[in-house]
Structure 1
Amino acid sequence: MNLPPPTPNQAYCDVSAIDSGHIGGVLLGALIDTVKDDGRGDLPCLTFLLRHSRTREPFLFDLGIRPDIENLGDVLDLVSRMDLKLEGRDIPAALEKGGLSRTDVKHIAISHIHFDHSGFPPAFPNATFLLGAGVKTILEIQDPDFKGTMYSIDLPRERTNFLDSSAADWAPIGPFPRALDFYGDGSLYIVDAPGHMPGHLNVLVRTSADGGWAFLAGDTAHDWRLLTGEAMVGHHHTFGCIHEDPAKAQEAIERVKVLLEHPRVRVLLAHDSPFVNANAADGMGYWPDTIESL
């Protein structure tokens, strides 16, 4: 499996993690098939800040759980029935502690509109929001009535671009059939990642001028055991599977497994418990620090 080699003076992005919330009491059987009965666990939530090596333009991937969880809307009924415990985060405040203003953020890609990724978009007054085209249909049909789903988003439509992965400027990269070279310089690719829900997006980003990469997998996999082969996609006896199309989700997982064979690709999950357990206590890799490139 090959990825595009770097060009002379190749642009890249620094990547930083941001704590964007926490979900307690997750029914793990809906995620992986190795958990029996009603086994529960906790999931951290991560947002990622990317900064272009030349322009220093900030780009956010996901916004986590909004801080005022009482305003999550219809999803709170499902949260209650699943007996989840939520903690939200103020992402603009986290940015500003590291010296970056919310007004500086020009682009925010939201992997999908589940409540633990969609945050509170209106907090970013100058940002354009990037979502997969499949989300537009959902919003047109269901918004604002999201009862019975995990959907929740307060989206400034006038500042939103719905990205169509069938467009001519999307092309294969590595194991992925459709990706958009966002800046046009090979530094950041938005990747079509179907399966979890319509319009689900991932990000493949260069992390050095000499061949390092990071893959931000969103909810393609919620647990590293899905990527190591220790588990397969799960199905809870009451709440079903976390993925809306489990077969396509498994295909997406297999593509990430192929990517893992590349020695200079670091894969990061939206709910990356090993990363959090290894780094959160001392802030390694968390904004304003950066995640080391491979």
Structure 2
Amino acid sequence: MSMEIRYAQTDTRSRTQQETINTVAWMASTSKTKLPGHDGPGVKVHLLDGGSFSTASMKLLHKNGSPEPFRMYDWCFLIHHQPSNRYLLWDLGCSDDYSVYTPWVNKFMLPYANIVGPLKSLKEQIEYLGVRVEQIDSVLFRPISQEFPNAQALFGPGTTEFCSPGHLESGEPSYEVEWDGRWFGSQQHVTENWTEFEGTWVPWGTFERALDYFGDGSLWVIDAPGHMPGNLAAAVKLQSTDEWVLLGSDCCHSMALLRGIEEMATYVGQDGEVKAYLQQDIPAAHKAIDNIRKLQADYGVHVALAHDATWMIEQTNPVLLSLLDDNKKGVWLDRVAQGLRPLASLHLTLPIKVHPAYPEQITMGLRVGVIGPTGFGGSYLCVELIKRGYAVRGISRTPERLGQNPAYTPYSIDIEKASFEDVVEALKNLDVLVNEYGPHTAGEHALQYKPFLEMTRKIVICAKAAKVGYFVMVGGCGSLHYPGSQFLTCADTKIFWLYYRRGIADSNAHVSYMEERLGSMGTSLRDYRNARLAVRQGKSDPAAEKLIDKYEHTVMSNDIALEFVTAGRTSFMFFDGNTSFRWTYVSPPALYRSGLRTGSYTLIEDELPVKPAPEGHEESDLTGRLHGISAADLAIAIADEIGNEKLVGKHWSAYSDMSDDTPTPSYVRL
């Protein structure tokens, strides 16, 4: 109403025309029923970047959603109540510190969603607004962190019962329990201080239960189960205006769902019941969404969902845009529209020393170049290095695909076609260079024997000319010695390929990984796996047995991967015994794939890592004995070596626990 009246008052129309416009504007504004608290003082609300799920899947949100990964943002809000001078936070977003999450979250969520925190912490964002973290007295419906020492955590009704017992109830951390035992469960395990909301719950707008948080109608905490018992929404009246904004939290995960453009994604559980991926109670979730729609239609309430950026992309709602401070406009909004991590200028002293040609130089860590930063192993390694505070230069044809981060500098160059001089320039001023351009990152027909060797030779020569401090070569398992042999490598041993393909086929996660990355090679592996499963289950037929025989004959005679794995084996000759530069050569084990980040690994030098032979079995029989490692864990091993340099001049491999067989993304992004 006020916007329309101001427009009419500055118009040059006749008095009668102005009065008519004012009357129409007043009628439009009063045609909607006023909400409780309409005449209250209101609150000031600031949107904060709470991080994101950088590889979320729309298939979990929408019925016909695309399987392509996208960035699902996690918005938080700083709320200031001027009459009491109180500050509180609505939600705390995501964290880069995975230790704050339970083992269940680390096992079942992080490999898929790749949770990343904001580029600027909540503390930095809040302090930019002139607020000290000590002034935050409450965090609503999220566990607090040590960043907010004076804050009280408050949860919605029903949270205690639903989330208890926590993951520590047995006395040891459990991978089977989602909820954090430091907050929920028996008193002998609970270490954190929190409480559920207390007070009088009354109807508000279209919702049945709401709590007047400040007592003057400025902020209503709304009981909105559906996502889970205890899920909340918040209705805030913006100070000095007549506008209401609903902070929708997890009531609805996309504006497309709220607008009715898409339907909620569901599946049939083992009990035969229809379930939703992101909502515990489907009827309650639909009811909450309907109530929000009615708030929009009947009361003119504006809606800001926790995980949706539609209004920032459309930029047509001035009320919602008023939640953005000046440093969250322009380029910041452009990055959100592109699905990138938003980066606001906080006008703070950052630990970054910019070089005209190499802006990634950061005083806190080493300068590490990664050739192949957007590939399988390269993407996981870049993310790991940046988390450790290293400055990373991604070197490839399209390094920008990894995403953006103050510690990441994309350097676009086609090394194969570029001159030696240009490649040397790309590698200058690096403390460490990691070559992730190798057989294990090849597509189905991407690398052949001679081109790969020529590429490796070129990179080694240029790295030496650029005076790179430490060269880390990531090759394939083909250069590892076959167990018990002084001379033969895996690439030289025909029977190895049979054990290798059988080992892959025994893992659904590995076959899924091969399907995602290697086209028909992955498809044929899936057929081979299915045929082997049929035989094991007594459901075999002549066609399945014929498929197995044909596949294994092909593998033994000339495996499709033999040429580029052999190239990886031969590339080791550029390093073995070479004292003209500092190097280490990493050969992933046979079963190298995307998978769970366990955080631990075992090192072995020169030889293919295998499990001990079962009693009564020949030592040479490697059936079921091949070790593996996830890309995330190998990234940890390589990052550790970059920091420690304990394996200079060594040829080594690493393996970890691969018992978890959950398919995970082959690539990650910043």
Q: Answer yes or no: is the 8 Å Cα contact 1:195–1:246 preserved in 2.
A: yes
Aligned match of 1:4: 36
1:244-269 Cα distance to aligned partner (Å, 9 max, x none)? 11121111101001011146421000
Question: What SS does the aligned partner of 1:121 have?
Answer: coil
Question: What SS does the aligned partner of 1:142 have?
Answer: coil
CA-based RMSD of the aligned residues comes to: 2.9
Give TM-score, length-normalised by structure 1.
Answer: 0.82
Aligned match of 1:270: 306
Aligned match of 1:124: 148
Which residue type is aligned with residue 161 of structure 1?
T
Offset at residue 187 of structure 1 (A): 0.5
Q: Aligned to 1:30, which of 29, 47, 60?
A: 60
Q: Answer yes or no: is the 8 Å Cα contact 1:132–1:199 preserved in 2.
A: yes
* Structure 2 CA distance for partners of 1:150 and 1:222, relative to 1, 3 Å: farther
Q: Answer yes or no: is the 8 Å Cα contact 2:238–2:244 preserved in 1.
A: yes
* Structure 2 CA distance for partners of 1:148 and 1:273, relative to 1, 3 Å: farther
How many percent of aligned residue pairs carry the same amino acid? Answer: 24
Give TM-score, length-normalised by structure 2.
Answer: 0.38
Question: What SS does the aligned partner of 2:250 have?
Answer: coil
Question: What SS does the aligned partner of 1:123 have?
Answer: coil
Q: Which runs of 5+ in 1 are unaligned?
A: 111-117
Which is richer in helix?
2
Offset at residue 79 of structure 1 (A): 2.1
| Alpha-carbon distance in structure 2 between the residues aligned to 1:269 and 1:105 | 22
Q: Aligned to 1:245, which of 262, 276, 281?
A: 281
Q: Answer yes or no: is the 8 Å Cα contact 1:26–1:40 preserved in 2.
A: yes
Quick check: 202-211 or 243-252, which moved more? 202-211
Which residue type is aligned with residue 127 of structure 1?
A
Offset at residue 150 of structure 1 (A): 5.7
| Alpha-carbon distance in structure 2 between the residues aligned to 1:154 and 1:210 | 41
| Alpha-carbon distance in structure 1 between the residues aligned to 2:263 and 2:70 | 17
Aligned counterparts, 1:62-141, within 5 A? 62-74=91-103, 75-81=105-111, 83-89=112-118, 90-110=121-141, 118=142, 120-141=144-165
Q: Aligned to 2:195, which of 133, 139, 161?
A: 161
Q: Which runs of 5+ in 2 are unaligned?
A: 1-31, 184-189, 270-274, 316-320, 330-670
Q: Answer yes or no: is the 8 Å Cα contact 1:13–1:52 preserved in 2.
A: yes
* Structure 2 CA distance for partners of 1:120 and 1:87, relative to 1, 3 Å: farther
Offset at residue 125 of structure 1 (A): 1.1
Aligned match of 1:231: 262
Which residue type is aligned with residue 285 of structure 1?
L
1:20-68 Cα distance to aligned partner (Å, 9 max, x none)? 00112212222121315x3432201100111113233212100001241
Offset at residue 153 of structure 1 (A): 8.2
Task: Indicate whether 1:50 and 2:79 are aligned.
Answer: yes
Q: Answer yes or no: is the 8 Å Cα contact 1:66–1:119 preserved in 2.
A: no
> Number of aligned pairs?
274
Offset at residue 159 of structure 1 (A): 3.8
Q: Answer yes or no: is the 8 Å Cα contact 1:6–1:209 preserved in 2.
A: no
Bigger Cα Rg: 2
* Structure 2 CA distance for partners of 1:290 and 1:181, relative to 1, 3 Å: farther
Question: What SS does the aligned partner of 1:141 have?
Answer: coil
Which residue type is aligned with residue 237 of structure 2?
R
| Alpha-carbon distance in structure 2 between the residues aligned to 1:148 and 1:27 | 23
